[in-house]
Structures are given as C-alpha cells and as structure tokens.
Amino acid sequence: MNVCVERPLELRRRWFVAEPFVHSFIRSRVITTPQVKKMEEKTVFDVEIADASGHSVVQMSQEEIAEKATQSQGTWVFVNDQLVNASDVAAMNMEAGSRVRLMPGLIGGQDVPTFEVEIADSTGHSTAVMTQAEIAETANRSAGTWVFVNDQLVNASDVAAMNMEAGSRVRLMPGLIGGLCA
C-alpha cells in the first residue's frame, strides 16, 4: 500500500490551488495517494440551505447535495437559479462555481376562508385577518366579549359552528356593563 505521510511532489505543487477541505484532511490524517487524487477531483459547491430558522451556507460535493436533496420529501433544488428535480442532481453536469440552493417546498394557500375582524378595546380598535376558528378562540378567550356578525350580536360560543359567508363584517368588542344610579 502506497501511504503518504509527507505530501507527494505533485500535491506540493498544487498545494495552494487545492480545495481547502483537502488541506485540513491531509494535515489531520495519513492517507493513500489514490485517496489524495480522488479528493482533488471532487468539486465542492457553496450550498445555501434554507429552513424555518433562516438559511446557512455549507460546502458540499455533488453527491452530498444529491443525498441531502432526496433525504427530505419535497425539497426544492435550484442550480444557477433554475429549479431541478432532486433525483437528477447526482447525474447532472454541474460546473465549478454553480450557485446551489436547497429549500423546503412551498405549500399552497389555505382553503379556509378568512375574515377582516375589527377588534375594539380600551385604546381604540385594530383590524386583523382571522379564520372563523381564530375568531371563536379570540372571542372565548376574553370573558364578556361581544361578537357582532353583520351587525347582529351573536353568542361567542356559537361563532365556531356558524355558517359565515365570505365578506361577513365581524366585530369583537368588550361587553358594556350597565347599572343603577343611586
């Protein structure tokens, strides 16, 4: 077995042009000459990986990109700003310097209708867009909240089961408290 403890002459000439990961790998291990040549042939790409917390940039080989792309169902792969099939990444002819991005697939919009809700409180009022379930939850969270749908007072506990039409006017207001004057 041909083992390199000292850098071979051919590697010493290319020491400053070889990939950075090769340098750290060679410094930390004793490797064979065929392994050095195989590592020199491997092109590494800067890959932007997006997820719920933001994105990170990591260096990966084409095989690693293909493996990562097929690991999670629905991952979108962009190479030079073009969407490509995740299963095709391993066989692609990617040039050095290609821009590679992995992103979670986008899921289409909601099927649940939303309503513009006017919410009044002691400071004035605000407007929010909510689903019917969110309106019911908000109304039931604060005891005594009055709910008006199309200018009719409805019981807060009935909001979730109502048949609300698109474009219904919904207002949530604090209940008024009346009393006798002595």
The confidence score (pLDDT) of residue 33 equals 59
Cβ distance 144 to 126 under 8 Å? Answer: no
Q: Which CATH number fits domain 114-174: 3.40.1440, 1.10.10, 3.10.450, 3.10.20?
A: 3.10.20
The confidence score (pLDDT) of residue 142 equals 82
The confidence score (pLDDT) of residue 150 equals 94
Region for residue 33 given its phi and psi (left: phi exceeds 0; alpha: psi -120 to 50; beta: otherwise): alpha
Strands 100-103 vs 82-84: parallel, antiparallel or unpaired: unpaired
Put simply, whether the predicted model's pTM sits higher than 0.85 gets the answer no
Q: Which of 149, 133, 151 is nearest to 141 (CA)?
A: 133
The residues with which 178 forms a beta bridge, in sequence order, are none
CATH superfamily ID and name for 43-107: Beta-grasp domain (3.10.20.30)
Q: Which residues of the chain have pLDDT under 50?
A: 1-29
The confidence score (pLDDT) of residue 136 equals 92
The secondary element (H helix, E strand) that includes residue 69 is helix 62-71
Cβ distance 117 to 129 under 8 Å? Answer: yes
Euclidean distance between CA atoms 136 and 160, whole angstroms: 5
The confidence score (pLDDT) of residue 29 equals 47
What lies within 8 Å, CB to CB, of 83 at 6+ separation is: 76, 77
Domain with CATH 3.10.20.30 in the chain: 43-107
